[in-house]
Amino acid sequence: MNPTSPHEHAGAHLDAIRQSYDTVAADYARSVKDPGALDPVSRAVLSAFAELVASPGLGPTADVGCGPGKVTAYLTELGIPAFGVDLSPRMIELARAAHPGLRFDVGPMSALAACDGELGGVLAFYSTHHLPPAELPQVYEEFHRALAPGGHLLLVTRVGEEEHQRRTYGYGDGDPAPFDSYRLPADRIAGLLERAGFAITAQTLQAPEEGAKRPVAGFLARKPAVDNVP
């Protein structure tokens, strides 16, 4: 028997994420906060990102792992041309129903439907933690590829000490839905972003909210106007 290839393993992993979020999509959409109700630091980071990607000449912004589209809509309210991308078809159905005037695509963040240098911004707002660490370099390189020179990335995620957590339930009281989550140290994430060609322009670290166990790190990064990837 031939061993499973890395590509096949990644495909199976994405299928599991897709199925889990399809299962819990309605409960997730009801439970996730509207961006305007987030804590002041999170709102400030989103606002700073919106101001950066509003620079003249930059393309649209992709909200990757957009879920039901609440943050995508928030960016458009801030005056940013934004569209959402999510692996879960059910999430995209809900996003399109809630925000019929906006664009939402089904697809993985590792293969964005964007030409090289097409995007002015990429937002990954609590959307990369389900990916095994070995897959992050490919995803960060894809963000870099799709961004225009001078474009910006905002990545926000919970961090930890090389932790892997598996839950067998999702949101609400629906059917069981397994979720794998990975919490990496902030400095490791920063190093991976830099190796993908990004220059980190700002970094935040927030203490855990009440009821949460892990701090939150935010990374504002820029694709240099002159490509620095070997």
pLDDT in tens, 185-205: 999 999 999 999 999 999 999
- Residue 141's contacts (CB-CB under 8 Å, 6 or more residues apart) are 196, 197
How long a stretch of residues is the chain?
230
Calculate the alpha carbon distances from 217 to 31, 121, 131, 164, 201 in Å.
22, 18, 16, 17, 14
Percentage helix, strand, coil, to 5, in the chain? 35, 25, 40
Class of domain 6-222: alpha beta
d(CA 219, CA 210): 22
d(CA 30, CA 17): 19
Q: DSSP string of 43-85?
A: HHHHHHHHHHHTSTT---EEEET-TTSHHHHHHHHTT--EEEE
**Quick one: CA dihedral 216, 217, 220, 223, positive or negative?**
negative
Cβ–Cβ under 8 Å, residues 129 and 157: yes
Most confident of 11-15, 86-90, 206-210: 86-90
Does the pTM of the predicted model rise above 0.85?
yes
Which tokens is 30 given?
């009801």
d(CA 44, CA 51): 10
Mind listing the pLDDT tens digit for each residue in 46-76?
A: 999 999 999 888 899 999 999 999 999 999 9
DSSP 100: T
Which stretch of DSSP H or E encloses residue 160?
none
| All structural domains of the chain with their residue ranges | 6-222
Lowest mean pLDDT among 37-41, 85-89, 152-156: 37-41
**Whether residue 129 has pLDDT greater than 60:** yes
**Whether residue 1 has pLDDT greater than 60:** no
Name residue 128's amino acid. Answer: T
- Closest to 66 (Cα-Cα) out of 91, 99, 44, 93: 91
d(CA 6, CA 165): 21
What does the pLDDT read at residue 21? 86
147 torsion bin: left (phi>0), alpha (psi -120 to 50), beta (else): beta
Query: pLDDT band at residue 16, thresholds of 50, 70 and 90?
Result: confident
